[in-house]
Amino acid sequence: MGRSRLALAALAIGLVAGCGGGEQTDTGEQPGAGATGAPWHDEVTSATASGKVGAGAPCPLPVTFELADGWQAEEIKTADPDDEVAAAVAEALTRRGGSTVRCEVDGRAVASGFLRVWTADDADVPPRQTLEAFVAADGKVTDPQYRQTRVGGLDVVEASWLSHRELLDEDVREWALAVRTGAATVLLEASSTSFGDPLDVLPAYRLARATLTAAP
């Protein structure tokens, strides 16, 4: 199995099918961190940085951010159209709510989760609307909450929601953000594995969020 198919297979961890729903809550504009506990858990501190993602290989992106120590980034490439199995997996796992995944940052060596970077298929759709569609497409969604923050020179929309995991029959907290930079709308998702603690992914997510900048 090639690297692209391995990357596509890794995307399946923690992803489940279902039908979305749930009433949205907007927690308003918050210029900085400071919300203790669920859903934002801003008390969780950033991880130690060991590199940068988005500045060329392995994941050329419209944004850059710092990579947490022990985490590994890999570009998600388009599947070979002649490989029907890989193409079917790619369609199911690399497209979600009007966005396409571009890069996966695997933390399983040190934590039970992933960061994934997506770009909106239609950059003209506002970031908030893009993020809402992304969250709704997650499956059985409850308690979706949103807030507006400012990171460096970027306006960032953040979301947190409960995603139902069929394997364990339980609701798991997830997070994502959306930002427009240049002609692209970029989403950064933090997701734990099926048997992981959701809070394990937050240090790497906090580091990425705090260091998020537009790519040169």
Residue the block writes with tokens 């909106």: 120
CATH, domain range 3-214: 3.40.1000.10
Distances (CA, A) of 72 to 12, 115, 128, 153, 178: 17, 10, 28, 27, 22
Residue 62 binned pLDDT confidence (cut-offs 50, 70, 90): very high
Number of H helices, E strands in the chain: 4, 12
Q: In the β-sheet with 213-214, what is the strand arrangement from edge to edge?
A: 49-53, 63-68, 213-214
According to the model, what pLDDT value does residue 133 have?
98
As given in the structure block, the two tokens for residue 55 are 């500045």
What residues form DSSP beta bridges with 116?
104, 189
Taking only the tens place, the pLDDT of each residue in 8-57 is 444 443 343 333 445 667 876 454 557 889 999 999 999 999 999 998 99
Taking only the tens place, the pLDDT of each residue in 139-179 is 889 999 999 999 988 999 999 999 998 888 899 999 999 99
Mean pLDDT in residue range 198-208? 96
pLDDT at 210 over 90: yes
Residue the block writes with tokens 């569609």: 133
pTM listed for this prediction: 0.84
Taking only the tens place, the pLDDT of each residue in 87-127 is 777 777 899 999 999 999 999 999 999 999 999 999 999 99
According to the model, what pLDDT value does residue 196 have?
86
pLDDT at 3 over 50: no
Beta strands in 84-169 (DSSP E): 95-96, 99-106, 113-120, 141-151, 154-165
Q: What gap in Å lies between CA 93 and CA 186, rounded to an integer?
A: 17
Residue 86 binned pLDDT confidence (cut-offs 50, 70, 90): confident
According to the model, what pLDDT value does residue 110 have?
94
Coil, strand, or helix at residue 10? helix
Coil, strand, or helix at residue 85? helix
According to the model, what pLDDT value does residue 10 have?
46
Looking at per-residue confidence, does 64 or 85 come out higher?
A: 64
Question: Where in the chain are the domains?
Answer: 3-214
pLDDT at 131 over 90: yes
